[in-house]
Amino acid sequence: MKLWTGRFGKEAAQVAGDFNSSIAVDRRMFREDIAGSLAHAEMLARQGILSEADGEAIREGLRGILADLESGALEIDPQAEDVHTFVESELTRRVGDAGKRLHTGRSRNDQVATDLRLYLRNQCEEICGLLRGFIEILHAQGEAHPGASMPGYTHLQRAQPVLFAGHMLAYEEMFSRDIGRIRDAAKRLNVCPLGSGALAGTGYPIDRAFTARRLGFDGYTASTLDGVSDRDFCMELAAALSIVMVHLSRLGEELILWCSWEFRFIELDDAYTTGSSIMPQKKNPDLAELIRGKSGRVFGDLTALLTLMKGLPLAYNKDMQEDKEAIFDAFDTVRACLEAASPMIGTMKVLPENMRAAAAGGFINATDCADYLVGKGLPFRDAYRAVGELVATCIECGFTLETLPLKHYREASGLFDEDIYAFVALEACVARRQK
């Protein structure tokens, strides 16, 4: 049953009905749709717009529909135009004319805007929970290897020694900021558009504050025009989720590098890798690669939402039906990536000996060596030049700064003494920078 019949003299063409339908996408919001209708029905009865008998019949019918959907006793009709139509039609089938009165004082425009905010509010909590768990996994890996030194990189060139735990901490910080961004966006979306009607409100004496409180909103939208046409919260959340994916992609890229034979800093568990169809020696980091690749998908969702909204006049336009597919996909993709990344990182084996060997061979203690000379009174630029000459000598003769004979040091500067070896030891270099 269509909710908008009466004006039309013929049924919509099959292709038009199929094209117009959103049930395949918005069916996941049935809980939120029923919650919004329960609050709306209660408000209508309190305000005397519905009789107490009709209000109770509607609420009882809605609770029954919810229970049957959750138990599987009732399935959503794929032929329905949308989830709102399905719920109202099923309600009317169960409780008769009272069900036809539920839509008094509201439009599908404010109804869907309310459902979407309710649904995304719950999604924000779920994603933040996954991010908190992921941060704990990163922290546990760092804590399990408290003294492991590794090369820190700039320009993908070995730069200075850092702790593996410090590297994990950098990602902990990134994902902590992501939680903050999502929570900020969730706070801004937490206002109720119900009561905006199609665009201009309603002539019924409704109580918008009541329904907002019943649904856990902080308040209700001041502008009815904006209430039905605002999708800033979708764009903002898609932007926040895109940044999550940037961080996951960067981490995925590092894991891909680190588990290669060229690095060998980590080894991924067999359960989270794949093989090759023709090369039996291969152990491929497919999950990390897919996470890196799926970042583009979420960026595309953000672009789709921005493009969707950029040219729309006030208030509601059918274009906005496309909002849900994009924002739902962004949440689904981030959730899937976090659920894959968490056990992959939680089970990976860290190889600290290989990390330290790479750090020692990359002259990443050269800045500390120069600082040693500065501490003896040599200007930094002179110290920089002297250590550069020492690095060239090491490369030519096959030494590191930790193994270079003292005579070579003294040829570069008479300020060098035996204590240089303790000063340029990687562990000492890292320890000096721990605050």
Phi, then psi, of 158 in degrees rounded to 5: -60, 130
Phi, then psi, of 220 in degrees rounded to 5: -125, 160
Distance of alpha carbon 122 from alpha carbon 82, whole angstroms: 21
Phi, then psi, of 30 in degrees rounded to 5: -65, -35
Q: How many CB atoms neighbour CB 2 within 10 A?
A: 14
Residue 55 burial (10 A CB sphere; 0-12, 13-18, 19+): buried
Known catalytic residue at 84: no
Contact by Cβ (8 Å): 352, 145: yes
Distance of alpha carbon 101 from alpha carbon 124, whole angstroms: 33
Give alpha helix (H) positions in 145-259.
164-189, 208-214, 224-229, 232-258
Of the residues 155, 223, 247, 342, only one is catalytic, namely 155
Of the residues 196, 276, 295, 408, only one is catalytic, namely 276
Angle at 268 (CA atoms; ends 267, 269), nearest 5 degrees: 120
Amino acid at 198: A
Known catalytic residue at 276: yes
Beta partners for residue 161, in sequence order:
151
Active site residues: 155, 276
